[in-house]
Structure 1
Amino acid sequence: MPTLEQIQAKLKKLQAQADVIIARKAQVAVDQIRDLMLKHGLTTADIEAKAKARRAAQGLNGHAASGKTKALSAGGAKVAKYRDAKTGATWTGHGRAPGWIAAVKDRTQFLVDGASEVKSVTKAELKSAKAGKKGQPKGAQPPKYRDPKSGATWSGRGPAPAWLASVKDRTKFLIDGAAAAASSVAPKAASKASAKSAKAKVAVKKVAAKKSAASKTAAKKAVVATRKTAAKKAAVKKVATRKTAPKAKAAVTNAAASQSSAAETAA
């Protein structure tokens, strides 16, 4: 029984053979199309013009396609999107990729002219859409601040004017709409600040509790250590007294014996 690697190798060989056959058939079809175009004196521009006129006629007759149009040829087959310049083989971009493009990362080099134009347009549209979303809006902006003395206004963009540059609290110069927006934002900021302060207080209390617990444990350890040292000293004293007691008794007995002997001699 053949192994999986052998089957995969056979599949690769068969796929390569199928790609060669498809490329040959495509080359034959391309040659036939070229012969017909040369015979009738047609160009690709003529074919595109005919296709545009047909699409316009369909749109006028009420048969226009929806937003997502399907690129179909006259025979109902999908239009080729990629073409191999060496063999002339084409691929619509749907289904399994053929061997001559399957391992290629950048497939733009194989794009057919029409497909490349469509892709470039879509990229440009995407770039313009992204550029429109990002950044600040262009053009003149409505005024956000007003000087009550001179009536001068400022939109809030760019360098601040002299009458507002040195002011720390600019809320008193806000126009009514901007002031309302700032007042609606202020409670949220205050609630956030209060929540942060509450969290900070809780953190301080936790740290103080930890410190007090640490100090209590340190005091307990100190008491235990002093008790242990006192017990050790007492034990050392007991041992010393036990060792010196027999010597003291012997000295007393010796002194008593010497006194008795001296008394006897004197008598």
Structure 2
Amino acid sequence: MATLQSIQAKIAKLQSQAEAIEKKQSSDVLGKIRGLMERHGVTIGDIETYLGGKRRGRQPGSNAKANQSAGAAKYRDPKSGATWTGRGRAPAWIANVKDRTKFLAGEAFAKVGDPAKKAAKPGNYVRGPQPPKYQDPKTGATWSGRGRAPAWIAGAKDPSKFLIAQN
């Protein structure tokens, strides 16, 4: 029967053998890599250049917060002077405002210009009454082209004859 000491000695011997085999295999791999590099004329600098010369992961001593900018203030409260970048939850002084253009600060204000001249994007239509596009020559009734068509134009084969001349 084997004793505890003899089993521990065998474990230590096997661990040293495993370490020796691992070291030999890694040196064989490194030898093959060095041989390939010499055969093809590749240097360590070439490999670093190919990889971008940057090490992956976080560099010691670097601060991720230092690289991020806070962003320029887009909106300014005229009463308190408080600013907001337009990202995240809106502060109370601008949260319920429909037209935020009057709170724009600095360069953002210069970019917007006159909000009344804003062109409607496709799919975004102006609300409220629209100027008429069609007119019935008999009754003088008009239709803007939005909503349900009136009977006098719905039954027409060619609605273009009811178009109002645009100036």
Please give the TM-score of this superposition, normalised by the length of structure 1. Answer: 0.23
Larger Rg: 1
Please give the TM-score of this superposition, normalised by the length of structure 2. Answer: 0.32
Q: Where is the helix percentage greater, Structure 1 or Structure 2?
A: 1
